[in-house]
A and B are shown apart, each in its own frame.
Chain A
Amino acid sequence: MIAPRSRSRSRPTVTALALALALLTPTAHGAPTSQPTSKPTTNTTNTDDDDDTERARRGLIGRLLFGKGGAPSTQQQPARGGKSWLGPSLVRRGIFDRPYLTRVGQAVAIGGYIDMLGAYQREQGIDSFGFEARRFNIFVSSAIADFIRLTSELEFEHGTEEIALETALVDIRFHHVINLRAGVLLVPLGRFNVAHDSPIYDLVDRPLVSTRIIPATFSEIGVGLFGFLYPGRHTLTYEAYLVNGLGAGLLSADGTRISAGRSPERFAFDENSSPAVTGRIGWSSPFGLDLGVSMYAGVYNKLSEGGERVASRHVITILALDYELRWRRLTIRGEAALALIDVPPTLAPEFAEVQWGFYSEAVVKLLQRPVLVFPKLGLFAVARVDFVDLNVGTQEQSDRALGEETTRLSLGISLRPAPPTSLRLVYYHEWSTDALGNRARAGAIQLGLASYF
C-alpha cells in the first residue's frame, strides 16, 4: 500500500540498516521504485471500492513521502466525493488513509468528519432520550518538503464542550523501512485507536475495549520510528515510540479507569520523567487478512517531589491484538486488550490490577449500486459483540469472580447514500455486573449519522 522511494534517494546514514531490511522488499536487491504493496482482495471499509494500490499511488501524502516527491499536479487531485487522498498508512483507514483530504494551495490538504446521533436508552427502567453532537473533527495535512509531512487533527466533542488536539505530528522520511515521527501522535495500541474515524464504522458507539481499556482516542506527545517491509506479497509494518505516558489519574474515583490517566497536561510535561514505550507490529497478507500485535508500558505515578523520591515506580502495561479479515462482501474485524496495572499495595484492594476485553464485529455489504438519485448507494448489515472486565480477580471472603463486567451485543443497518457518509440504525443490549456481582441490563436504539467532508 506504500510506495517506497528509490534507493538512490535514501540517506547514507540509514543505508546500512535500510539495506538489511530492504532485502525483504519485493525487488530483493533494492527498494522498489514504485509501490509494491499487496493488493487486498476486497474493500475493507465501506467508504469506497477503490483499488488500494492505485489509491496509494495517487495519494498526496504517499507521493510526498514515498513517491516521486513534490505536490501532485492538478490532474492528480481527487475529485471531491470521488477518489480519495491516500498515503502511506500503517493501518488501513488510519490517519493517512482518509478519503477526504482536499488540497488547499500547493501543499496543504484539509478534511474532517462529523458524528451525531439520537438515542433512546432504558437502563433498569430509567429512560433517556436525546440527541448528541458527538464529534466534529478537522484534519489538516501539509507537505513541508518532499520528505517532511505534517498531519494534525482537532476534535470538537459535544459542540465546544471539549476541544482536543488529537494529532499534530511531523514525519520525516529516510527510507521506507525507517522513518522518524514526532509530535502529538496516536498511540499505536490496537487497530481502533489509530483508525477511529466514525464514518469508517457502521455502528454508532465505539467498541468498549477500545475506549475502556485502550483509552481511544489515545494521543500522546512523543517521538519514534516507523517503517514498512515487503517480504513477498506481504506487508509488514512497525511503529515504536517514546511518549510521556499515562498519569496517576487512572486510579480514579470510579476505580481503575485507564482513560482517566490521560491528563490534560500530558502534552506539556511528563510528571514522572519516565517515558512510556509503545509500539505495534502489523502484518497485511495478500489474501485480505491483517493482524497486529501492540503494546504500551510506562510508569504512571509521580516519583519525586522537589528532587526527593516520594514513591516507587508503578507501571501500567497494555497488550493488544487486532485483526481484520476481508472476504468478498464480508469484513470481520476486532481487537482484544489486556491491561496489567501495578497498584500501590496500600490501594490494591480498592483498584483493579488486571483488566481485559475484546470486541469482534462482522459487516456484510448487502448492496452497493445506483438507486434513485444516489449513484453509489450502499447498504450494510453489522453485528458486534463487546466484552470488558474492568476488574479481573476474585472477591475476598468468597471465591466468586469480581464483577465490573460488561457484555454488549449490537445489531445495525448502515445506509451509505455516498461511500463516505453513513446513516445507521442500531439496537444494542448490554448486560453488566458491578464489583459485587449485582446484575443490570440496558437496551438502546440509536440513529446515527457520520460523514467525512
Chain B
Amino acid sequence: MGRRFTLPMMLLALAAPLALALAGCGTLFSDAPDEDAILDGPIAGLSRTQLETFFAGDDRFSERFTAATGLGPVFNERSCASCHPGDGRGHPSTNLTRFGRGDPDDPPRFDNLLALGGPQLQDRAVPGYVPEVLPREATGISVRGGPIVVGLGLIEAIPDTAILANADPDDRDGDGISGRANYVAVPEFFTPLYDHHEIIGGKALGRFGRKATAITLFDQTVGAYHADMGLTTDAISRDVYNPLVGGPSGDAAPDPEVSSDVVASVVFYLRTLRPPEQQNSGDAEVQRGATLFTQVGCAKCHVPELRSGSSPIAALSDKPVRLYSDLLLHDMGPALADNYPEGDANGREWRTTPLWGLGRVPNVLGGQAFYLHDGRARTLVEAIEAHGGEAESAKRAAFALGADDREALLSFLRSL
C-alpha cells in the first residue's frame, strides 16, 4: 500500500486540511454572532481611551472571585456576570432573597432584621464559614433575579425632572396609573454625578434596581459587590456577615477587596454598554404591535422614550433613551407583591422594568426565557398575565385583543 504513495500525493495529503480550512472559512472557523443577537458592546462614540476602560471593565465584570480574592465569607454569587450573563437578565438559579418583618404598607417601620442577617440572605459561604438561613421571623420575602444591564448609562443621564414629569402619585388624571418616585436615603459615600441628582432631606431619586433603590450606577455596583459577593470596596469597607454565625473577619483577604480603579472600570463599563436596538422595526406586524402597545395602555408605564441630559461622556449626552419604562413605582397587584418594602416602595410596588432587550432574553440563557423579577414566567403571555394592580386594565385590554392583534403585540415585544 505504501508503495503506491508518491511525493506529490504526500504533499497533497499535507495540504488537504489547510485547503479544507481555507475553503470553508465561515463554516470551519467560527464567525462572530449577529450584532443584533447579543447584548454586550460599547455605545457608539467612545474615544479609544474610553474603549480601553470599557474593555477593562468588561474583564472585571466577568471576574470570578474566590475566598483568596475576598469572596464572602457569605455571598450569593461569585461574579457580576453570574447574575447578568451576557449582560442580560439572570437565570432563576441565581435569584437572591431579601427579607424583613413588618407591615409591607409601612416602609419606614419595616424591620430589615439586620441582627438576623438581613436585609439579604447570603445563602452560600466560603469553606469554613456558615451560610445564612432564612429566619423564621421574616414576613416579607422578596426573591428576585439580576436584570439586564445594558443602556444603564443613558438611564443614569436622564434628568430627575424628566422622570418626575411622568409621576402622578395621586392619580390626578384618573387613569388608574399613579407612578411614584422612590426617594431613598443617600449613602455616606454618595457623590452626585449629575446636577440633576438633587438631594432633598437626605434623600435622592432612586432609579436602579427592581424597586429603584439605587441612585447612581456607582451605588448599585458597590452595593452588589458588597451584598451579592461579600466584597469590600473603599465605599463599603466592611465585609457582609451574619452576626449569628460569626464576625466580619471571615475571610483573610485584605480590604478593600475590590480596588477603586476596578470599581471605576466596572461602573464605566456599565455606563457605556450600548442599549439594544429594536429589531425588525420596519416590519408591518411589529409596527402594528407598537401601536397596540400604546392603545391598550402598556405605554402608560412602559413609556417608550425618555431623553438623557448632558453628560461628561459625550456618547451619553442628550440622546433619546428608548427604554420602555418611566422608572417610577407602580402597584402591580397581589400576584407580584413581595411584601418587602424598600425606600418609599411598599410591598406591592415595583419600578417599571425597562423592556429594551426583551427579545434577546433567551439569547443569553441558552435559548430559555425567564421573565418578571424572579423569572417565574416562561413566556411573554405568562408575564403579561401576572400583571395586576395599576396594570390590570392594560392587561385586560391586551387579552381582549383578537388573535392577530395579540400576535402583533407579541411580535413587537420580541422585537425589543
| Interface residues in chain A, defined as those with a beta carbon under 8 Å from any beta carbon in chain B | 121-126, 248, 251-255, 301, 310-311, 329, 344, 346-347, 349-350, 365-369, 371-372, 379, 381, 395-398, 400, 403, 411-413, 415, 425-427, 429, 433-434, 436-445
Contact = CB atoms under 8 A, between A and B. Distances in A.
Contacts of A412: 17
Nearest to B63: A253
Interface in B97-154: 124-131
Nearest to A426: B17
B17 A379 contact: no
Contact of A397 (B32, B92, B125, B367): B92
Interface string B264-293: 000000000000000000000000000000
Contact of B365 (A427, A436, A440): A436
B128 A396 contact: no
A346 B365 contact: no
Contacts of B21: 427, 443, 445
A254 B65 CA distance: 9
A253, A381, A395 — most chain B CB neighbours (10 Å): A253
B165 interface: no
Contacts of B189: none
Given A438-B366, A442-B30, A253 B65 contact: yes
Contacts of B403: none
A249 to B, nearest CB: 9
Given A253-B69, A311-B127, A397-B375, A367 B18 contact: no
A346 B129 contact: yes
A169 B366 CA distance: 48
Contact of A122 (B14, B30, B367): B30
B335 interface: no
A376 B116 CA distance: 77
B91 A436 contact: yes
A379 B8 CA distance: 13
Interface residues of B, number: 48
B20 interface: yes
Given A123-B30, A252-B66, A346-B130, A433 B17 contact: no
Nearest to B375: A397
A439 B86 CA distance: 12
A415 B10 contact: yes
A329 to B, nearest CB: 7
B127 A346 contact: yes
A126 B77 CA distance: 28
B1 A367 contact: yes
Interface of B: 1-3, 5, 7, 10, 13-18, 20-21, 28-33, 63-66, 69, 77-78, 85-86, 91-93, 124-131, 363-368, 370, 375
Given A125-B31, A367-B1, A301 B366 contact: no
Given A346-B129, A434-B366, 12 more contacts: A124-B30, A126-B32, A253-B78, A346-B131, A347-B124, A350-B124, A366-B2, A372-B7, A397-B370, A398-B368, A429-B28, A439-B366
B17 A411 contact: yes
A262 B189 CA distance: 42
Contacts of B77: 350
12 contacts: A122-B31, A125-B31, A248-B127, A251-B66, A349-B93, A367-B2, A372-B7, A403-B366, A415-B14, A441-B30, A443-B29, A444-B29
Nearest to A396: B93
Contacts of A369: 2-3
A228 B76 CA distance: 52
Nearest to A302: B127
> Can you list the 6 inter-chain pairs with the closest CB atoms, starting with the nearest?
A125-B32, A437-B366, A367-B2, A443-B29, A396-B93, A441-B30
A438 B85 contact: yes
A396 B30 contact: no
Contact of B33 (A125, A248, A379, A436): A125
Contacts of B65: 253
Contacts of B2: 365-369
Contact of B32 (A124, A301, A396, A436): A124
A124 B33 contact: yes
B30 A425 contact: no
Nearest to A431: B30
Nearest to B2: A367
Contact of B128 (A311, A365, A427): A311
Contacts of B130: 346
A412 B16 CA distance: 9
